[in-house]
Structure 1
Amino acid sequence: MKAAFIEHLGSYSEIKYGELPVPVINSNEVLVKVQKIAVNFVDTFVRSGGFKANVIFPFVIGRDAVGTVSQIGSEVTSFNIGDVVWTNSMGYDGRVGVSSEYTAVPAKRLYKVPTGVDTTQLIAAVHSAATAVILLRDVLQVRSGQNILIEGGAGHVGQKLTEVAKILGLQTTTTSNQRNFNLMRELQVDHYYDYHQPVAEIEDDFDNIVDTSGKISLPINLSKLNLHGKIGMITAPKASAQEIDFQKFYTSVQSIRGFVISHATEYQLAQTAEFLNRNFSKGKLLRDEVMTLPLSQASEAQRMLETHQTNGKKLILTI
C-alpha cells in the first residue's frame, strides 16, 4: 500500500512516500481503508521529536482520518464492513499513524460518521473540536451560566471553543482581529474585542479563560479571574516580567489546568465522539476552510503548516 512515513525523527524533509505492507489487524482492531487525513501541528511535533512518543520505524505519520471499514477483528462487534468511520488518536504512544491507504485502528478508538455529514468537514474539525470539548467539560468542568474569555477566538481551536461554549450554555467573550468580527457575530459571541486592546482593559472578570494564541501573559489573565476562576492552558503563555499575585491566587481559590489531547483517555475520547457526532448531525462545528493535497504531498503539507503558509485553512490529505 502507499503510505507517508518516516525512518528517522527530524525535518519534514524526512517524510517519505512509498510502499509499506498492509497492516495485519489484531482481534480487537478494525482495518480501515483511508480516504482523508487531517494534518495537525501535533503531527509535526511527533515527527520532529518535539513531542516525546513511542515511535517504531518505519513510522506512518498522522493521527486523524476518515475512511471505510475493510476488515474486522474477531472480537469486534460494533462495526460492519463498509461503515464510514473516523478516528482522532492514532500516530503516537506506540500506535501506527493513518497517512496510508489502509490503517489498523483499535475498535475503542474508532467512531461511525453520522449519516449525511460531509467527511471532509468532519475530519477537518475533529482535532480542534475534541480539544475544545474535553478542555471545557472535563478539564475546566464548566457549568451553564458561567462566562468564559477565549483569546484568539477566530483560530481553529478558538472557533471550536466558542461554539462548544455556546452549546454548553456559557456566556462567551472573545478577542480577535477586527476583520473577524463578522465571524464572531455568526458564532453568536456575546462580547468581542480587538485583540490589540489590552486584556486588562476588558471590563468583565471571568469564570474561565483560555488563551489559544500564547500571546497573553499569565499574570494578566490571572488578574481577570473571578473567585474560583480557572485558566485552561493549551499553549505556553507569553513570557512576562510581571510577578503573579500568589496571595490573590490562592485566597481566590483559582487554578491553572494544562491540557493536551494526546493524553486524553479512551473513555474521554469516546464520550467526546458522542458529543461531536450529535452536533455534527445538527450541522454544528463544521465550518473550517479546507485545502486538500494528495497523500504523496504529505511532506509539503507539513512544510506549509510549519511555515504558516496555509492561509488559515485546514490541510487535508486525500487518497
Structure 2
Amino acid sequence: MKAAYIERLGDASSIQIGELPDPEVYQKDVLVRVEGVAVDRVDTYVRSGAYQTDMAFPHVIGRDMVGEVVSVGSAVTAFKVGDSVWTNSMGYDGRQGVTSTLVAVSSDRLAPVPRGVDHIQLIASVHSSATAVLVLSDVMQVRMGQSILIEGAAGHVGTKLVQLAERMGLDILTTSNERDFTNLAKLGSQGTFNYRENFGQKVTGLFSNGVDHIIDTSGNADFQTNINLLAQNGEITLITAPKSNLFSFNVRHFYMNQKHINGFVISHASIVQLRQAAQTINAAFRRGMLLDDEIIVKHFDDAQWAHETLEMGQDKGKRIVLVP
C-alpha cells in the first residue's frame, strides 16, 4: 500500500512517501480503503516527538480518516463491506496512522458516516468537533442556562463550540476579529467582542456576577482578566498554552472564590469518551451542523508540505485534507 510515514522522529522533512506492507486484519479489526485524511497540528507534535507517545517504526502518520470498508474481522458485527466510516483516534499510543491507501482499525474506534454528508467535509470537522463536544460535556459539564465566554471563537474549535453551546441552551459570548462578528452571531453568539480590545468591562456589563465558563482556544487571552470575569465557582478551560508557556495571577482571589482551571488534550480521551462524542457529532452532522470548515485538498504526496504549512501558521484558517 502507498503511505506517508516516518522512520524516526524529526521535522517535516522526515516524512517519506512509499510502499509499505498491507496491514494485518485481526478478529476485531475493519480494513478500510482510505478516501481522505485530515491533517491536524497534533500530527506535527507526534511526528516531531513534542507529544511523546508509543510508536513503532516505520510509523504511518495521521489520525483522522474517512473511507470505505473493504473487509471485516470475524468478530466484527457493527460494520460490513461497503460501509462508509470514519475514525479520529489513530496514529498514537502504539496505533499506526491513517495516511495510507489501506488501514486496519479496531471496530470500536470507527463510526459510520451519516447518509448524505460529504466525506471530505466530515473528516475536516471531526477533530475540532470532538474536542468541542468533550470540553463542553465531559470537562466543563455545562448546564442549560449557564454562561460561557469562548475566546478565539472564529477558529475551527471555536465555531464548533458556539454551535454546540447554542444547542445546549447556554448564554454565549465570543471574542474574535470584527470581521467574524456576523457569522458568530448567526451561529449563536449573543455578544461579540474584538479580542484586541479590552472586552472585560463589556462582559461584566452583561454578566455582573461573572460568567460560569471561559474557554481559551487561542492562547492569547490575558489570564488574570479571565479569572476576574469568572463567577464564583466558575472555571477556565485551556486547550492550548500561550507562547510564553507562563501565566501569573492573583491566587488569593482565585481560591477564595472557588474558581477552577481545566486542561484538555483530546489524545488523553478514553475510548468511551470518543465513542460518545462520535454519536453527538454524527447527530449534528445529520442536522447540517459543524460542517463549516474551509478546506484545502491535497494528495498524500503533499504530506510534508501540509505539516510545514501548519507549523509555520500558513494554513490561513483552512483545514487540510490529504487524499490518496
TM-score tier by shorter-chain length is over 0.9
Summarize the Cα distance change of 1:299–1:240 in structure 2 as closer, same or farther, 3 Å threshold: closer
- Aligned residue for 1:292? 297
CA contact (8 A) 1:55 1:94 kept: yes
Tell me how far apart the structure 2 counterparts of residues 147 and 77 of structure 1 sit (CA, whole Å). Answer: 42
- Aligned residue for 1:227? 232
The residue identity in structure 1 corresponding to 2:106 is P
- Aligned residue for 1:256? 261
Tell me how far apart the structure 2 counterparts of residues 225 and 238 of structure 1 sit (CA, whole Å). Answer: 23
TM (normalized to structure 1)?
0.97
The residue identity in structure 2 corresponding to 1:53 is T
Q: Which moved more, 1:181-190 or 1:16-25?
A: 181-190
Tell me how far apart the structure 2 counterparts of residues 228 and 239 of structure 1 sit (CA, whole Å). Answer: 27
Tell me how far apart the structure 2 counterparts of residues 52 and 199 of structure 1 sit (CA, whole Å). Answer: 37
- Aligned residue for 1:6? 6
Tell me how far apart the structure 1 counterparts of residues 201 and 246 of structure 2 sit (CA, whole Å). Answer: 19
How much has 1:279 moved relative to structure 2? 0.8
Question: Equivalences for 1:1-319 in 2 at 5 Å?
Answer: 1-202=1-202, 203=204, 204=207, 205-237=210-242, 243-319=248-324
Summarize the Cα distance change of 1:242–1:85 in structure 2 as closer, same or farther, 3 Å threshold: closer
Tell me how far apart the structure 2 counterparts of residues 39 and 11 of structure 1 sit (CA, whole Å). Answer: 15
Summarize the Cα distance change of 1:105–1:240 in structure 2 as closer, same or farther, 3 Å threshold: closer
Q: Structure 2: which 5+ residue stretches go unaligned? A: none
Q: Structure 1: which 5+ residue stretches go unaligned? A: none
Structure 1 outlier segments of 4+, above 3 Å: 237-243
The residue identity in structure 2 corresponding to 1:299 is Q
Tell me how far apart the structure 2 counterparts of residues 22 and 201 of structure 1 sit (CA, whole Å). Answer: 59
What do residues 136-185 of structure 1 show as CA deviations (whole Å, max 9, x unaligned)?
10001010110100111101111111111111111110011111112112
Tell me how far apart the structure 2 counterparts of residues 63 and 31 of structure 1 sit (CA, whole Å). Answer: 15
Question: How many residues end up aligned between the 2 structures?
Answer: 319
Secondary structure at the counterpart of residue 82 of structure 2: coil
CA contact (8 A) 2:223 2:248 kept: no
Query: Please, what is the CA RMSD of the aligned residues?
Result: 1.4
Tell me how far apart the structure 2 counterparts of residues 84 and 242 of structure 1 sit (CA, whole Å). Answer: 45
Tell me how far apart the structure 2 counterparts of residues 200 and 137 of structure 1 sit (CA, whole Å). Answer: 26
How much has 1:218 moved relative to structure 2? 2.0
How much has 1:242 moved relative to structure 2? 8.0
Tell me how far apart the structure 2 counterparts of residues 190 and 200 of structure 1 sit (CA, whole Å). Answer: 15
Summarize the Cα distance change of 1:241–1:16 in structure 2 as closer, same or farther, 3 Å threshold: closer
How much has 1:308 moved relative to structure 2? 1.7
What do residues 59-101 of structure 1 show as CA deviations (whole Å, max 9, x unaligned)?
0000000001111111111101110000000000100000000
CA contact (8 A) 1:7 1:14 kept: yes
